[in-house]
Amino acid sequence: MSALDQIRETIEQNDVVLFMKGNKMMPQCGFSSRVAGILNYMGIDYADVNVLADAEIRQGIKDFSDWPTIPQLYVKGEFVGGCDIVTEMTLSGELDTLLENSGVAFDKEKADQIRAANG
């Protein structure tokens, strides 16, 4: 199976996927750590894919999304964005709306706490 096929299958089989450096319990870059921290804090169930473990996946996800950087967040098969976009969406409440509209469970109170702490 090609890297692109693996990427496509992972995105199709999971409601939320984060392609990142490291994993959700031990991110290996600040940007990945920030997005994983948001998702973890909000109690979102997501698949994490460590791009450092496979060079083909690391390049493949960039080609797949036509986005040059890692991390990359997908919700219900759709590319959401990287660290800056996910951070902005969290602070504006757009991420809550996206998750609600996609039927993805999350802790609304925790999302509100993130906004209160950064407001």
Alpha-carbon distance 15 to 38, whole Å?
16
pLDDT at 1: 85
DSSP sequence for 25-57: TEESSHHHHHHHHHHHHTT---EEEEGGG-HHH
Whole-prediction pTM value?
0.96
**Tokens linked to 47:** 């698949």
Alpha-carbon distance 92 to 57, whole Å?
31
Q: Which string of b and e fits 50-68 if b means at least 16 CB within 10 Å?
A: bbeeeeebbebbbebbeee
Query: pLDDT-derived band of residue 119, with 50, 70 and 90 as boundaries?
Result: confident
Judged by DSSP in three states, 71 sits in: coil
Alpha-carbon distance 31 to 56, whole Å?
21
Domains and CATH numbers, the chain: 3-117 (3.40.30.10)
29 is in an annotated binding site: yes
* pLDDT, tens only, 13-55: 999 999 999 999 999 999 999 999 999 999 999 999 999 999 9
